[in-house]
Amino acid sequence: MIYFNFFVSRPTAVNLSDAATKLQNLVSRTAETAKDAKSIFQVFIEAAEAMLVDDVADNKAIGSHGAEFLQRQLGSSRNISVLTHCNTGSLATAGYGTALGVIRALHSGGVLEKAFCTETRPFNQGSRLTAFELVHDKIPATLIADSAAAALMNNGQVQAVIVGADRIAANGDTANKIGTYNLSISAKHHGMQFYVAAPVTSIDLSLPSGKQIVIEERSPKELLNSEGGLGKQVAASGISVWNPAFDVTPANLITAIITEKGVITKSDPNGSFDIKGFIECAK
């Protein structure tokens, strides 16, 4: 008998567990009739490659829908500057990106003035990864400290915030990299639009709100040591650490949710999303 061991995905990201479950079920079904391990590996590889193709197509659709929607909302005649957080590009997806895919689409459409990216402490996914992608693609971009975001908005240098999502509850509450909630509050205060860009696989209709989303905590070393925990200790020995990897942004702070199926907008005056209805209509 052939056995396969699958690692569990991190708890917050629903699409990672969804992909892992699909592959695990496929391998289990194939193993029931397969004569050797090689044929099972081949089925696994073909399925993974198909996921790759589908993910790139979905990301490009997200980028297209998002760019078109932002231009309508902000005015297609003006140059658009946006702020993003963490990494949602080709290094985080299969090759194009979600929130960064929208930025790529705005840039290719000739309407992006500048992309601002946060450093995304404490592990610096923004300065290490997003900044690299923006420079690589020759997209006009500026890196800022996480704590400079509100000042950037107050100075009028950015018109919208666009972030990714690890899990979206049925009401639109969204879990994303820690610091996203801060940005949504600042955006609300400055009258700025705040967008979430994610595939429908990031939507978890089994959770009525963000209160049910499990938030993982990362190693204290990320805060105690430099270089996101990889360098020398900089904090005082003996200090306690709280290092959540994600936070939850309430739906009422989100302008719209951009997916590969289209853009989910608010369905009533109370500012809630009818995500279930959107998905059913999009099928």
DSSP characters over 86-99: S--STTTSSSS-SH
What is the token pair recorded at 103? 């930025």
Note the pLDDT of residue 76: 63
Mean per-residue pLDDT, 237-253: 97
The answer to whether 117 and 126 are in contact (CB under 8 A) is: yes
Q: In angstroms, what CA-CA distances link 153 with 116, 149, 191?
A: 11, 6, 9
What are the backbone dihedrals phi and psi of residue 151, each rounded to the nearest 5 degrees, phi first? -65, -40
Domains and CATH numbers, the chain: 48-282 (3.40.50.10470)
How much is the pTM? Answer: 0.85
The pLDDT value recorded for residue 2 is 43
Averaged pLDDT for residues 199-226: 95
Q: Which residues contact 19 (CB under 8 A, 6 or more apart)?
A: 51, 201
Query: How would residue 60 be classed by pLDDT, with cut points 50, 70 and 90?
Result: very high
Reported as a pLDDT band with limits 50, 70 and 90, residue 62 is very high
With cut-offs at 50, 70 and 90, classify the pLDDT of residue 7: very low
Q: Largest Cα–Cα distance of the chain, in whole Å?
A: 66
Predicted local confidence at residue 6, as pLDDT:
47
Strand bridging mode 262-264 / 256-259: antiparallel
Q: Is residue 177 predicted with pLDDT exceeding 50?
A: yes
Average pLDDT over residues 27-44: 76
pLDDT of residue 3: 43
Pick the residue with more confidence: 6 or 132?
Answer: 132
Mean pLDDT over each residue of the chain, to the nearest integer: 89
Q: For residues 117 and 97, give the distance between their C-alpha atoms in angstroms, rounded to a whole number.
A: 14
Return the percentage of the chain with pLDDT > 90, whole number.
Answer: 71
Q: What is the tens place of the pLDDT at every residue in 163-174?
A: 999 999 999 999
**What is the distance between the alpha carbons of residues 110 and 127, in angstroms, rounded to a whole number?**
24
Residue 10: its pLDDT value, please?
A: 56
Sign of the C-alpha dihedral, residues 261, 53, 195, 165? Answer: positive
Distance in angstroms (rounded) separating the CA atoms of residues 263 and 257: 6
Which residues are annotated as catalytic?
Answer: 166
How far is it, in rounded angstroms, from Cα 277 to Cα 188?
A: 26
Span of 15-29, 78-92, 248-262 with lowest mean pLDDT: 15-29
Name the DSSP letter for residue 147.
G
Q: What is the mean pLDDT of residues 98-105?
A: 97
Is 227 or 239 the better-scoring residue by pLDDT? 239
What pLDDT does 257 receive?
98
CA dihedral 147, 151, 156, 159 (to 10 degrees): 20
Per-residue pLDDT band for 132 (boundaries 50, 70, 90) equals very high
Among 147-151, 172-176, 208-212, 269-273, which is the least confidently predicted range?
Answer: 269-273
Check whether 25 has a pLDDT greater than 70: yes
Q: What is the pLDDT of residue 205?
A: 95
The whole-number pLDDT of residue 18 equals 67
